[in-house]
Amino acid sequence: MPDTAPQNLSAVDQAVITQALIAAAHEMGVKLIRSAHSTIVREAEDCSSAILDRHGNVVAQSELIPLQLGSIAHTFGPCAAAYPPEELVEGDFYITNDPYQGGQHLPDVFLFTPIFVDGRLLGFSATVAHHIDLGGGAPGLNPDATDIHQEGIVFPPTKWNLARDWRNDGPLQRFVRANIRMPDHTIGDFEAQFAANAIGVERVRELCARHGAARLEAAMDEMLDYAERRMRQALAAVPDGTYEGEDFLDDDGQGSGPLRIAAQVTVKGSDIRVTFDGSAPQVKSNMNNPFASTVGAALSVIKSALTSADLPFNSGCARAITVEAPEGSILNPKAPAPVRARLLPSYRVFNAVMKALAQAAPEKVIAAGYDTTYACCLSHLGPKGYNIYLEIFGGGYGAGPRSDGCDAVDSPLSNCGNIPVESQDMSYPFFRVLDYSLVAGSGGDGEHRGGLGFQRVYEILDDDVTFAAYGDRFIIPPEGLFGGEAGGKASAWVIRGGERIELRSKLSMAMKKGDRLVVRTGGGAGYGDPAKRPAALRERDFIDGYV
């Protein structure tokens, strides 16, 4: 399968345009982050950006949140079906966050801006950002929601016009502002998305001026074809067969569990099919995974495990991959089931597929990590309105065949940064951070050690503060590979007047002034026989305080 460029493009021109489009997607991400108002986007970088061709295929994306963009074609499709792209005009945009029409969970709002050059539709610039509050039954997140409507505003796939409907306090902006608790932050983050999309539009137009629209479209087509060829080359190296893996969520947050995620991975030549027969049925809590998220998680693990980092992650990669999940299961729920915590089952998809691939390509996989989005929210209603802190915590990575797991980082599908303590001090006067440290001994032993989890200790400085969270791995630790030991479990508790109050992984509770909240994340599992770990590495772990 030679990597040949189209005849009307030299290899040099193809490379120049490819890298320019990727650079434009990265620039969009930077613009979005630097322009955002809320700390979840500005500091934690819970957002993504991409450039799509005129058919809605991702040709370039920023290296931010894999899950948000891995299935973006599923998100774009319902928008285009409702409002055909050929009917769009300058200034129009699509908006959606509907989990049952290609979206993921409600805080992740997608904006698609068409790119016109001399009246010709060439593609779309797209961004998605996690918005700090979109209404619903509780500030920031509602762990007690029993249907999607209690989680916030649902934007079905719709078309609007920026000048008519948003600018100058237009009707769409007024509607959003009236239904959210921190309007300045949320509207500010929407403005950041529009600004980032405008950068993507401008960069594509500049490329058209330099190379011509037809050559740019040809280059986009070749980017997709190249990714498909590379993906198929990688899959062809995997032995044919059907491989199975499973992992478990602790519970559904309402006393039922564990919840099984079962994956069947069938490799045939240069095609791969992933099914999830035998996975748990959908649940009444917010632990359900919209199908787009299931697809995104499966694509991400196959891309990361079987291909190299230099392969761009675009829609061409997905051409060789088929993903199916039973309707009514936790991985393909029926409306109106709540889905706010969808990253928890997404990670068990990642783990189950990785375990299946371990049987076919043991030298390419890693052990299970903490692999959990531990979403923690502290909110306070004061004289000036709501102030909402939301942060996405990771933990330890699983170890691999050649290295230890990373310590105290977000998990593979999310990739958020931490919110610096200094930023929290400036933005949230109702609490302060007393401790932020690694948890010694939380990484599973093995020839290669799992990464460490971490803890944060908060002191609550006001009454009437609410803590809401969802997490996992409090009960079932991540499992090691090829003799490696399990990683450490997560935990949380409150110190109140000398009493220690243990907390569940999924809850909402009222905090009191003077409370100390301890949030501790889990570590990654080990890879390989612990007896084979070199003595020098064990000595280093001891000196560094990791064990």
Q: What is the 3-state secondary structure (H, E, C) of 314-356?
A: CHHHHHHEEEECCCCECCECCCCCCCCCCHHHHHHHHHHHHHH
Residue 298 lies in a domain: no
227, 247, 267: which is the final residue of a domain?
A: 227
Q: Which domain holds residue 216?
A: 11-227
- Please give the pLDDT value at position 70: 67
Instruction: Give Cα separations from 145 to 102, 141, 508 (angstroms).
Output: 21, 9, 11
Q: How far is it, in rounded angstroms, from Cα 478 to Cα 521?
A: 12
166, 197, 227: which is the final residue of a domain?
A: 227
3-class SS at 191? helix
Identity of the amino acid at 452: L
Residue 328 lies in a domain: no
- Please give the pLDDT value at position 266: 98
Instruction: Give Cα separations from 372 to 264, 351, 395 (angstroms).
Output: 22, 11, 8
CA angle centred on 402, ends 400 and 403, rounded to 5°: 70
Say if strands 321-324 and 271-275 run parallel, antiparallel, or are unpaired: parallel
Residue 523 lies in a domain: yes
227, 250, 280: which is the final residue of a domain?
A: 227
Quickly count: other Cβ atoms within 10 Å of residue 440's Cβ. 15
Nearest to 370 by CA among 297, 449, 452: 452
Residue 321 lies in a domain: no
Instruction: Give Cα separations from 20 to 16, 17, 190, 405 (angstroms).
Output: 6, 5, 25, 33
DSSP 140-190: S--TT-SSGGGG-----SEEEEIIIIITTT-HHHHHHHHT-S-HHHHHHHH
Cβ 390 vs Cβ 41: under 8 Å: no
Say if strands 120-130 and 108-117 run parallel, antiparallel, or are unpaired: antiparallel
Residue 222 lies in a domain: yes
φ, ψ dihedrals at 165, nearest 5°: -105, -15
**How many domains would you assign to the chain?**
2
Burial class (CB in 10 A: 0-12, 13-18, 19+), 144: middle
> Residue ranges of the chain with pLDDT lower than 50?
1-6
Mean pLDDT of the residues in the chain: 95
Residue 319 lies in a domain: no
Residue 354 lies in a domain: no
pTM for the full predicted model:
0.95
Residue 360 lies in a domain: no
- Please give the pLDDT value at position 2: 41
What do you get for the CA distance between the two ends of the chain, in Å? 48
- Please give the pLDDT value at position 352: 98
Span 154-198, pLDDT tens digits: 999 999 999 999 999 999 999 999 999 999 999 999 999 999 999
**What is the maximum alpha-carbon separation in the chain?**
75
CB within 8 A of 68, min separation 6: which ones?
47, 48, 104, 108, 128, 296
Cβ 453 vs Cβ 491: under 8 Å: no
